[in-house]
Amino acid sequence: MDNVKKQRGSFLSAACNEFGYCLFPADREHLLDQKQLSARQFVQAVIAIEGLDLQTCAHFPTLLALYQKHFG
């Protein structure tokens, strides 16, 4: 597993544990394989997979900060 995939996996685990954004395993693996996504796009994808509207999701800034924390 490459470093980016590992860090993104850690972010997804934290997003699940801290905020309830828990993806199904198949969705998680598919998203982790999307290496071309920026931090913003990755977090937007998590929100979309959860079935939420990015325009009304209050957690976007918090999730983006959490993502960035996992990339030090």
pTM above 0.85, yes or no: yes
CA–CA dist 42, 38 (Å, integer): 6
Where are the alpha helices (H) located in 20-59, listed in sequence order? 25-32, 39-49
Encode pLDDT of 24-50 as tens digits: 999 999 999 999 999 999 999 999 999
pLDDT of residue 1 exceeding 80: no
Reported as a pLDDT band with limits 50, 70 and 90, residue 5 is very high
Q: Please report, for the chain, the start and end positions of each structural domain, with discontinuous segments joined by +.
A: 3-69
Encode pLDDT of 60-71 as tens digits: 999 999 999 988
Helices and strands (H, E) in the chain, number of each type? 4, 0
- Which pLDDT score, from 0 to 100, does residue 71 have? 85
User: CA geometry: angle at 37 spanning 69 and 52, to 5°?
Assistant: 80
Closest CA to 64 of 29, 1, 27, 19: 19
